[in-house]
Amino acid sequence: MKGWSVFAVLLALVWSSPLTAQSRLDHRQIRAASLTHNIVGMSPMRGVTVYLPSGYDTSGKRYPVIYFLNNFKETETAPFDNSDAQTVFDAGIAQGAIGGVIVVTADFSTPLGSSWYVNSPVTGNWQDFMVTELVPYIDAHYRTLASSASRGIAGDRMGGYGALRFGMTNPETFGAVYALHPVGTGAGVQTMHSRPDWGRLQGAPSLKDFEGDLFGGIFLSIYQAHLPDPTRPPLYVDLPARRENGRLAVDDAQTARLIGNFLLVNQLPKHAGGLKRLRGLKFDWGRNDGNYDHVLSNQAFAHMLDEYGVPHEAEEYHGGWGDRVWGADGRVATDLLPFFSRTLVFQ
Amino acid sequence: MKGWSVFAVLLALVWSSPLTAQSRLDHRQIRAASLTHNIVGMSPMRGVTVYLPSGYDTSGKRYPVIYFLNNFKETETAPFDNSDAQTVFDAGIAQGAIGGVIVVTADFSTPLGSSWYVNSPVTGNWQDFMVTELVPYIDAHYRTLASSASRGIAGDRMGGYGALRFGMTNPETFGAVYALHPVGTGAGVQTMHSRPDWGRLQGAPSLKDFEGDLFGGIFLSIYQAHLPDPTRPPLYVDLPARRENGRLAVDDAQTARLIGNFLLVNQLPKHAGGLKRLRGLKFDWGRNDGNYDHVLSNQAFAHMLDEYGVPHEAEEYHGGWGDRVWGADGRVATDLLPFFSRTLVFQ
Amino acid sequence: MKGWSVFAVLLALVWSSPLTAQSRLDHRQIRAASLTHNIVGMSPMRGVTVYLPSGYDTSGKRYPVIYFLNNFKETETAPFDNSDAQTVFDAGIAQGAIGGVIVVTADFSTPLGSSWYVNSPVTGNWQDFMVTELVPYIDAHYRTLASSASRGIAGDRMGGYGALRFGMTNPETFGAVYALHPVGTGAGVQTMHSRPDWGRLQGAPSLKDFEGDLFGGIFLSIYQAHLPDPTRPPLYVDLPARRENGRLAVDDAQTARLIGNFLLVNQLPKHAGGLKRLRGLKFDWGRNDGNYDHVLSNQAFAHMLDEYGVPHEAEEYHGGWGDRVWGADGRVATDLLPFFSRTLVFQ
Amino acid sequence: MKGWSVFAVLLALVWSSPLTAQSRLDHRQIRAASLTHNIVGMSPMRGVTVYLPSGYDTSGKRYPVIYFLNNFKETETAPFDNSDAQTVFDAGIAQGAIGGVIVVTADFSTPLGSSWYVNSPVTGNWQDFMVTELVPYIDAHYRTLASSASRGIAGDRMGGYGALRFGMTNPETFGAVYALHPVGTGAGVQTMHSRPDWGRLQGAPSLKDFEGDLFGGIFLSIYQAHLPDPTRPPLYVDLPARRENGRLAVDDAQTARLIGNFLLVNQLPKHAGGLKRLRGLKFDWGRNDGNYDHVLSNQAFAHMLDEYGVPHEAEEYHGGWGDRVWGADGRVATDLLPFFSRTLVFQ
């Protein structure tokens, strides 16, 4: 309550001042060479949105950058169109929660909903796109502080997964990581193979069959990222299970491959060292998530970070799936911006 | 890491400036009429420490007040003597995490370690002491903003228990509550009766037998607060169980009384309404606590707050029992002060 | 796998033997005086099914009795019609898992789905019906061992709730209790008030509006049992919350009443002593339940039983909601029958 | 209560009958070639105890065999000397919970307490000892049913770890597995590196320094099994962490090796298929274990078995660490023997 009224007063101040330059959004399209080999008919032209803080056009100074990864099926404009991201960034900067900062979003969606931010022979090399194309492009076209110490990565749910993953694999690019309610960090009680419709997966004549199939689409996007098989049209994946004679037969080898590639807890043996090089690592999740496996998975991931001695913050907070991201008392305002304020170098 | 260096720079600035008035601690002794009837030989003279922020002596203005309740066996000076409370408050105010604020601690300890902040015919009326004596005393002797909207209560572990309890029973006095790692909120896996030495409890010739008996002392202090019986020297309690012929017999009626009085989750049917009147309610706990029951209890308490529709924040964070309270990245600095900044009225 | 083949062989033996008298089901209708005051238009005629073991008609001896309470919306014939209850009892007796035993089911359903096995001015006095009518009727009409030592009570899910409740309130009638996957034992993460459609609850012109409304019907049946108000047609309940101006306002007093009456963990202060008088108490639940609150609730209930020192068995097993009750490797066969074999007196 | 009286009556019957041949224990010493290369000064002579059921000497028939692995520091006679294993087996057979069965224990202890049942260049090849020496020896010297379908493996705590491990790696030898309260199945909240005294580990002049050091001994035995290094006297291990300048530095590579080798959840990618070949797999654990990490670990292991589609039973029961193994209502009597009765072939 109170938070919003302070916020409202502050916004009134911000917006009423003729002396205050407004923040603005810059929309671009860039051609991603890393994605041209995709075989799912996806254009390599990718939308990018750049939040430039108040004063950017006149200050002449360089700014740190936060890359913000979206949730499943969301494109680069989602935080600005569907939520109040620009207002939240403006207010956070105006209130001093963080200094002036550039925020970048980009379109990491695939026809099925998400690239899961990894290189795939089926959907394109999304890790490469980020590290070798998008970041250099932003550094070339904007006045950034172009070093990992001033470059953070964050994301919301599936985007939180991506943020943690980039922190593991590319700590030389991103110096600090904040994941909001990440998925795919570990295993829960309900199995992955209990979710999709195996009849559809085994018999689908085309990818279009998964439009409107929530779990089918999610899991097929996971398989295209983590169990890709370019030789197997139309889905281009190896399946980790098959329904035969009314029973589900789990394929041990493909399950091991899926769990090894996908679940972040299983990437720690290889990449714990990357996380230790970060200037800061934080993630959070809501304990009231209707899918309790998200809670159990994040708890398990936090425990294993401890086992490897990875410094981190991990907060389980009061809230459900996706309901406290934006807004004046959302986690971006109360936790994410102050985190990057503490962990990034601003000059 | 980075947090501390910013902190150090800031402190250097604070301390080096000849223009900055220092904060200071004011030590008092007050005679608590509410405690004179105690039968455990405890003096009603109680130490009080008052943190007065930088500028207090010259500003002429009125300040909000945070009452901070200590952990088991700690007296009013503990946060200042054993930890860096004054530095943390100074830095929080200097960094703008919170405006100028008075912080009050007092000696709520009993011979066994804690009053548990309740009225007891055995150890004294501690709730009354707080509400009818200490708060009026502070408002009379210092330039406070003397209303609940500007008066917060907080505490560390056993003190966190007290803070939540005062929020339930005295929302007209305290407008906002922050409990750090509270105990006694609910039940865990290990039973309360599994902890004490029942032979000692049943046969102790005097209270002195419990010096050096950690669990015995803790549970006996709980019984003196929540199962008091002034007619039964030397312990002045009813026991919720007895060991007889090698077996422990749990007393249902006394257990119901203990669990009903002590565990905060069982105070909600009577006092949820009090918590709803608060301007803010937050508590937190570390998931790595060696006593996992503290974790389970706080999770259960958070769930029941939801059932009653009590707005609250409840964060489970990375850390163990008592290891992230003070310091530049302790929860007081990162969460408690910003919380009271948002929830108290500063003018 | 193996279980079923042994089972099949055994059944073949059982069924092929000309010397083996078959078990049989006796169907009755009894008029329940305890239910005549109900104001929801429910007939007091109640179906009862009695399983009589092989040999009953010729042996001349007396048998112990297990009362088995059904799940939501199920009537007395459900275990026999929809599952293989008779086969499971036959095989359990033939294999020696339990001696000859009578099993009784009855129709505890209401128009909304369940009586919750309690006395209510709205739906009838179901506790009385069981204890003062059904049990005496069975003892009068069948050759039972008519004492609590030879009388057990069990139930499936909502019926498991009833079994635990009768064990608390009527240990002089039922000597042993087995609850399969009980609900309503404690609180979980998702609140009760998050489930129903409040618009419908507040505006329903008649009880019929809840046909086909799963959560609405369940919660309304809970309110008719635990928040009854005969003066308030058409639902005859007090609501524990109201949606007003787009927000849900939880009613503290009705919530305290609901939680106090309904959740079994809150009946323990009054009824732990009843459970201690039992010859045996066991309950179980599946950890893969899609509603994880069932898991958390049963864990919390088990913990509180320990706090009161109530001897009990509580097993969390591999399985989901309702999927391992019957069948050769269901919990009735592997756990429930052996439990009553151990705890009831058979002569 | 009742269980024991039936048990007592039954034992009285068993013992009073002049016609009933008694069961007996056969004690042997065998020389383990697989252990001769050990470099910790351990004799390759290993004690073996064989329980031969009542009637073995006269029946002439062949029996299934259960190999029972002991807990930490226990030798082959522990279940018989310290507990009532022989009585429990006798009663289980007499009551029909299981048919006549041979039970074998052997000395798997090392100077530090346990071999952890694996091959090690430091402590000997214990897996080989079991599979290539002990099992053939038993089959050669006793009238066994010498196939995996009639050969089970079980164990208590550390022995439960071993039983699960043999089930993974040697399903062609052991057809069914029951693990009582296994350890090392997954990760908990308290890290492994938080337990040992690193000063002692880094500076110990000899293995003898760990006598009387509970956690030091346990973790050093784990390292000798899973992080062995024969070139590094006197401990012959690689350490997964080092304390330097007052801080603990976790070694990522050795931690990955330790976690990968030791924790059974991480053996599933390689060995889930082995578990699927079993005729039966069950494990259990007590929810009141003072070390809650044992609970969390087993829950996590159960979840991952589901992910691989491994059929299994996993029961969390009412009880603490090691307090319900033997006795008439211990898990061996109530669950383990019936399990092997269902899963092994007895003829």
Domain identity same for D101 and D235:
no
- The rounded distance, in Å, linking the Cα atoms of B288 and D113 is 28
A interface mutation test: which of C189, C190, C247, C289 has the most A CBs within 10 A?
C189
**CB contacts < 8 A (A, B):** 49
* Interval A311-321: pLDDT, tens: 999 999 999 99
pLDDT, position B3: 43
Three-state DSSP state, D325 = coil
Domain identity same for D138 and D201:
no
Q: How far is CA D342 from CA A322, C329, D96, D339, in A?
A: 47, 10, 12, 5
Q: Is A36 at the interface with chain C, CB within 8 A? A: no
Which residues in chain C have Cβ-Cβ distances shorter than 8 Å to B247?
none
- Confidence class of residue C19 from pLDDT cuts 50, 70 and 90? very low
Section A51-67 average pLDDT: 97
- Confidence class of residue B20 from pLDDT cuts 50, 70 and 90? low
Q: Is D306 at the interface with chain A, CB within 8 A? A: yes
pLDDT, position A14: 47
Domain identity same for D230 and D203:
yes
Last-in-domain residue among C201, C227, C258: C258
Domain-located, residue A319: yes
Q: Is D277 at the interface with chain A, CB within 8 A? A: no
- Confidence class of residue C188 from pLDDT cuts 50, 70 and 90? confident
Q: Is A215 at the interface with chain C, CB within 8 A? A: no
Chain B: partners with 3+ C-beta pairs within 8 Å: A, C, D
Q: Percentage of residues in chain D with pLDDT exceeding 70? A: 94
Section B232-245 average pLDDT: 95
pLDDT, position D212: 86
DSSP characters over D188-199: -SS-GGGSS-HH
pLDDT, position C20: 55
Cis peptide before C234 (omega within 30 of 0): yes
Q: A286-310: buried (b, 16+ CB within 10 Å) or exposed (e) per residue? A: bbbbebbbbbbbbbbbbbbbbbbbb
Non-local CB neighbours of A215 within 8 Å, separated by 6+ positions: A195, A196, A197
Query: Is pLDDT at C221 greater than 50 in this prediction?
Result: yes
- The rounded distance, in Å, linking the Cα atoms of B1 and B6 is 9
Query: Is pLDDT at C161 greater than 60 in this prediction?
Result: yes
Q: Percentage of residues in chain D with pLDDT exceeding 90? A: 87
Q: What is the CATH number of the domain that holds B88?
A: 3.40.50.1820
Hey, which bits of chain B come out as E strands? Answer: 24-31, 45-52, 65-69, 102-106, 119-120, 124-125, 151-156, 176-180, 241-244, 247-250, 280-286, 313-317
Domain identity same for D179 and D154:
yes
Residue D131 neighbours by CB distance under 10 Å: 18
The structure tokens listed for A113 are 């909903």
**Are the Cβ atoms of A315 and B315 closer than 8 angstroms?**
yes
Domain-located, residue A277: yes
Of A279, A318, A343, the CB nearest to B314: A318
* Interval B185-221: pLDDT, tens: 998 889 999 999 999 999 988 998 898 888 899 999 9
C49 in Cβ contact with C67 (< 8 Å): no
- The rounded distance, in Å, linking the Cα atoms of A205 and D185 is 42
Which residues in chain B have Cβ-Cβ distances shorter than 8 Å to D187?
none
Query: Is pLDDT at D171 greater than 80 in this prediction?
Result: yes
pLDDT, position D2: 42
Section B213-237 average pLDDT: 95
Count of domains forming chain A? 2
* Interval D54-99: pLDDT, tens: 999 999 999 999 999 999 999 999 999 999 999 999 999 999 999 9
pLDDT, position C211: 85
Domain identity same for C252 and C168:
no
Domain identity same for D198 and D93:
no
Domain identity same for D75 and D164:
yes
Three-state DSSP state, A94 = helix
**Are the Cβ atoms of C309 and B188 closer than 8 angstroms?**
no
- The rounded distance, in Å, linking the Cα atoms of C105 and C99 is 19
Bridge-based pairing state of the strands D119-120 and D241-244: unpaired
Nearest one of B283, B278, B295, B277 to B336, comparing CA atoms: B283
Chain A nearest-CA distance from B175, in A, is 13
**What is chain B's mean pLDDT, rounded?**
93
Section B161-171 average pLDDT: 98
- The rounded distance, in Å, linking the Cα atoms of D135 and D116 is 18
**What is chain D's mean pLDDT, rounded?**
93
Alpha helices in D170-288 (DSSP H): 198-203, 214-226, 252-262, 268-276
- In degrees and rounded to multiples of 5, residue A319 shows phi and psi of 160, 165
Section A152-180 average pLDDT: 98
Nearest one of B251, B267, B264 to B297, comparing CA atoms: B264
Domain identity same for B245 and B327:
no
Hey, which bits of chain D come out as E strands? Answer: 24-31, 45-52, 65-69, 102-106, 119-120, 124-125, 151-156, 176-180, 241-244, 247-250, 280-286, 313-317
Domain-located, residue C16: yes
Domain identity same for D140 and D54:
yes
The structure tokens listed for A173 are 């690019």
pLDDT, position C21: 76
Q: Is A96 at the interface with chain B, CB within 8 A? A: yes
Domain-located, residue C263: no
Residue B328 neighbours by CB distance under 10 Å: 22
**Are the Cβ atoms of A2 and B280 closer than 8 angstroms?**
yes
Which pTM does this prediction carry?
Answer: 0.93
For B167-197, the three-class secondary structure string (H helix, E strand, C coil) is HHHCCCCCCEEEEECCCCCCCCCCCHHHCCC
Section D184-201 average pLDDT: 92
Q: Percentage of residues in chain B with pLDDT exceeding 90? A: 87
Of C189, C190, C290, the CB nearest to A190: C290
Domain-located, residue D263: no
Last-in-domain residue among C231, C258, C285: C258
pLDDT, position C3: 43
Q: Percentage of residues in chain B with pLDDT exceeding 70? A: 94
Chain D nearest-CA distance from A246, in A, is 15
Q: Percentage of residues in chain A with pLDDT exceeding 90? A: 87
Which residues in chain D have Cβ-Cβ distances shorter than 8 Å to C302?
287, 318
Query: Is pLDDT at A284 greater than 90 in this prediction?
Result: yes
**Are the Cβ atoms of C309 and B270 closer than 8 angstroms?**
no
Section C240-260 average pLDDT: 95
A164 in Cβ contact with A174 (< 8 Å): no
Domain identity same for A139 and A234:
no
- Confidence class of residue A232 from pLDDT cuts 50, 70 and 90? very high
Domain-located, residue B336: yes
Last-in-domain residue among B258, B287, B306: B258
Domain-located, residue B263: no
Residue D39 neighbours by CB distance under 10 Å: 15
Q: Is B341 at the interface with chain A, CB within 8 A? A: no
Query: Is pLDDT at C34 greater than 70 in this prediction?
Result: yes
D191, closest residue in chain B (CA to CA): B288
Query: Is pLDDT at C2 greater than 50 in this prediction?
Result: no
Residue C231 neighbours by CB distance under 10 Å: 8
pLDDT, position D20: 55
Range of the domain at B118: 3-187+271-343
Domain identity same for B135 and B28:
yes
**What is chain A's mean pLDDT, rounded?**
93
Query: Is pLDDT at D113 greater than 60 in this prediction?
Result: yes
H/E element holding A157?
none
Domain identity same for C73 and C87:
yes
Report ipTM for this prediction. 0.91
